[in-house]
């Protein structure tokens, strides 16, 4: 099992938390804001790394152990991958995000796929309750002296808010 907990925040519906085990510990948190759900899952994580994964992201068969190894080999404390999309209206945003990720800019570390060391998450006090909490978190990490950057993995933005949950169901 990879040394990673996957946290999938779902803002819709009543509060709910379910933990799965298998390839990785997976915590699905429903209720409250994205930042609230991420913090509940992040503080509950029992592994050295936490992958905050939005529900509309398809991992496309990504081996989580490889993602963690790449982040460690690159000396990163917070890592993102590169995004694909099949929606033309998202193409510009994806291009800009991938450009920033290639530059290892914290702006490129969007929360759709944000891999962070648990000790860094805790040291920073988790996510602030605000819009774009993922970018703010990456910037706070970078300004606090943590290594923020990208790893050579690809994930897909699907606009289907069940993409990550389908992956979770395979673990159950």
CATH number for 19: 3.90.550.10
* Number of structural domains the chain divides into: 1
The reported pTM is 0.82
Q: Is the pLDDT of residue 29 over 50?
A: yes
pLDDT band at 95 (very low <50, low <70, confident <90, very high): low
Q: What confidence score (pLDDT) does residue 92 get?
A: 47
pLDDT band at 45 (very low <50, low <70, confident <90, very high): very high
Contact between residue 155 and residue 57 where contact means Cβ atoms under 8 Å apart: yes
Taking only the tens place, the pLDDT of each residue in 96-124 is 555 555 555 555 556 578 999 999 999 99
3-state secondary structure of 171: helix
Angle made by CA atoms 148, 63, 76, in degrees to the nearest 5: 15
Higher pLDDT, 85 or 98: 85
How far, in Å, CA of 27 to CA of 125, rounded?
Answer: 19
Rg, Å, the chain Cα set: 14
How far, in Å, CA of 72 to CA of 77, rounded?
Answer: 8
**Domain carrying residue 89:** 4-171
133-137: long-range contacts, CB 8 A cutoff, minimum separation 24? 133/34, 133/35, 133/38, 134/52, 134/109, 134/110, 135/106, 135/107, 135/109, 135/110, 135/111, 137/78, 137/111
């Amino acid at each position: 099992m990879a040394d990673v907990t996957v946290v999938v925040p779902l803002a819709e519906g009543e509060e709910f938390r379910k933990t799965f085990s298998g390839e990785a510990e997976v915590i699905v948190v429903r209720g409250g804001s994205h930042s609230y759900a991420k913090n509940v899952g992040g503080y509950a994580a029992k592994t050295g790394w936490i992958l905050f994964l939005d529900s509309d992201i398809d991992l496309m068969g990504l081996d989580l152990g490889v993602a963690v190894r790449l982040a460690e080999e690159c000396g990163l404390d917070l890592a993102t991958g590169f995004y694909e999309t099949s929606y033309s209206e998202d193409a510009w945003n994806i291009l800009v995000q991938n450009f920033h990720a290639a530059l290892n800019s914290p702006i490129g570390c969007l929360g759709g796929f944000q891999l962070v060391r648990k000790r860094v998450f805790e040291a920073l006090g988790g996510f602030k309750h605000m819009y774009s909490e993922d970018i703010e978190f990456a910037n706070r990490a970078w300004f606090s002296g943590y290594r923020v950057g990208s790893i050579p993995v690809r994930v897909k933005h699907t606009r289907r808010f069940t993409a990550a949950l389908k992956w979770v169901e395979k673990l159950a």
